């Protein structure tokens, strides 16, 4: 389709590292997300390079980023926050 991913908010809350492809379409909360804080940003041309780089990161860095993503999702995207 030609719309933003409706599942990104759910992915941010799943206690996993999230990768988001660069896109022209946006959801209302995208401008509040910070690359390398809430998710890993990639493009079609650099996806393999980004994956290789992330594989070398210490587990603590990944946990820290996942924690920020979870907190963002629960604070701004949960049913209680609406």
Task: List per-block mean pLDDT (blocks of 10 residues) for the chain, which spans 82 residues.
Answer: 76 95 90 96 96 97 97 89 64
- Do 35 and 41 meet the contact criterion of CB atoms below 8 Å apart? yes
The predicted structure's pLDDT at residue 50: 97
State the Cα–Cα distance between residues 47 and 19, nearest whole angstrom: 9
The predicted structure's pLDDT at residue 39: 97
């Amino acid at each position: 389709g030609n719309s933003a991913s409706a599942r990104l908010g759910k992915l941010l809350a799943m206690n996993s590292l999230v990768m988001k492809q660069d896109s022209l379409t946006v959801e209302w909360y995208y401008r509040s997300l910070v690359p390398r804080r809430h998710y890993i940003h990639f493009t079609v041309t650099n996806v393999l390079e980004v994956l290789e780089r992330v594989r070398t990161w210490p587990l603590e860095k990944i946990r820290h980023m996942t924690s920020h993503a979870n907190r963002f999702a629960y604070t701004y995207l949960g049913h209680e926050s609406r």
